Structures are given as structure tokens and as C-alpha cells.
Amino acid sequence: MDKTFDNAPYLLRCLHSLNSESKIPYWQRCHRLGITKSMKVKVLVWGKRHRSGYENESRVRYVNGNRLIDAATADPRTLALWGFIAGRDQAKDALNQEKNDE
């Protein structure tokens, strides 16, 4: 199976720092490629930061494993807290549903 943006099984938690007081949290889709001797996770990351239109571009990054979550089982509320744009509407719906259930 070819690795693509659409079949990426993981999400990488990222934070773009504009200055000391302004930060943009976002998620990037990725594939886990392996683990290094220093216990970093080698991932193939899709896209450019939080921008849309770059889903076909990828690059290899080495990150701490605690920044990865399984995309299939990700909680929409967690994604909303970190500004996952593609899941924002689902996250809002989930939060509204939770409020209505209370």
C-alpha cells in the first residue's frame, strides 16, 4: 500500500510559534516509519504546518513518541483543543452533544 495523506494512520501534535505570546497548535497526518536508537520516532509527515493545499507534500521528521496519536481512535475533543482544522466541525458537534447530554 502506498503511503498517502488520506491513509495516514497517525496524527502528529505540532505547535507553530510566531513569537513568545502567539502560538498556533495544529495536527499533521503521518505514517510511523520506525524508532531510532535514541528512541525518537521516525515519521513521514504530510502537509505544511496548518496550511491547506499541501496534502501531497511529505517529509521525514524525528519526534518524541508522546506527540503521536492514533487517528482512528482520536477523541474529537482532544483534536479541537489542538485546533485540528479538518475535525473542527466534528469536535464542535461532539462538545455540543456532551453539553446537551448533561
- Domain locations in the chain as residue ranges: 10-101
Residue by residue, pLDDT tens for the chain (102 residues) are 788 878 888 988 888 888 878 877 788 889 999 998 989 999 999 887 666 676 778 899 999 888 888 888 877 766 766 655 444 455 455 556 555 655
Question: Among 57, 40, 70, which Cα is nearest to 4's?
Answer: 57
pTM exceeding the 0.85 threshold for the entire prediction: no
Q: Which residues contact 71 (CB under 8 A, 6 or more apart)?
A: 8, 9, 10, 11, 29
pLDDT value at residue 60: 94
Helices then strands, each counted (H, E), the chain:
2, 5
